[in-house]
Amino acid sequence: MSRIGKAPITVPKGVEVTISNKNLVTVKGPKGTLEQAVDPDISLKQEGTEITLARPSDAKPHRSKHGLYRALVANMVKGVSDGFVIEQELVGVGYRATVKGQQLQMSLGFSHTVVIELPAQIKVTAEQQKGKNPIIRMESADKQLIGQVAAKLRSLRKPEPYKGKGVRFVGEVVRRKAGKAAGK
């Protein structure tokens, strides 16, 4: 049994949820509007300020989709009401980040500056304090989009295990390896 799928989704004040007859869920709130198509096998019911999802049988595909779509709709509701924030830090000598409009320009130790055009739904800021690593802060209502962009930024220069240099999430612990001198 899916414990996640059975849990009801509470809709906070200021958030409007619309469920069309083709199982298209539209969520509007102070942070924006999001849409998600739900599998036709999964039925959605809205009763007051709660949304519940039900599945037709206990078959494996129905069980897996039940929890999946409940989580997706819950993330949409949380995103349009509170939003999601991801912070990444650039660890390394000379690593820098600047924001110009929706462009993020980063110096990551390559011979060129890496320029990334960010989607309009993401608000990005870069802060640099003396003696600390530069931090990139991204805010968005769409959890999937912000996670995908954060993963793309991290893939440009993953944290390496010897010195720990690279793009990492704030609070991420990088497992360090001893160098070849430690073997003697």
Domain boundaries, the chain: 3-81, 84-169
> Whole-structure pTM over 0.85, yes or no?
yes
Instruction: Say yes or no: do domains 3-81 and 84-169 share a fold.
Output: yes
Pick 84-169's CATH classification: 3.30.70.20, 3.40.50.300, 3.30.360.10, 3.90.930.12.
3.90.930.12
d(CA 121, CA 129): 27
d(CA 170, CA 136): 9
User: CA nearest 15: which of 25, 34, 26, 28?
Assistant: 28
Per-residue pLDDT of the chain (184 residues; tens, 9 = 90+): 458 888 999 999 999 999 988 889 999 999 999 999 999 999 999 998 999 999 999 899 898 899 999 999 999 999 999 999 999 999 999 999 999 999 999 999 999 999 999 999 999 999 998 989 999 999 999 999 999 999 999 999 999 999 999 999 999 899 999 888 766 6
Give the class (CATH, top level) of 3-81.
alpha beta
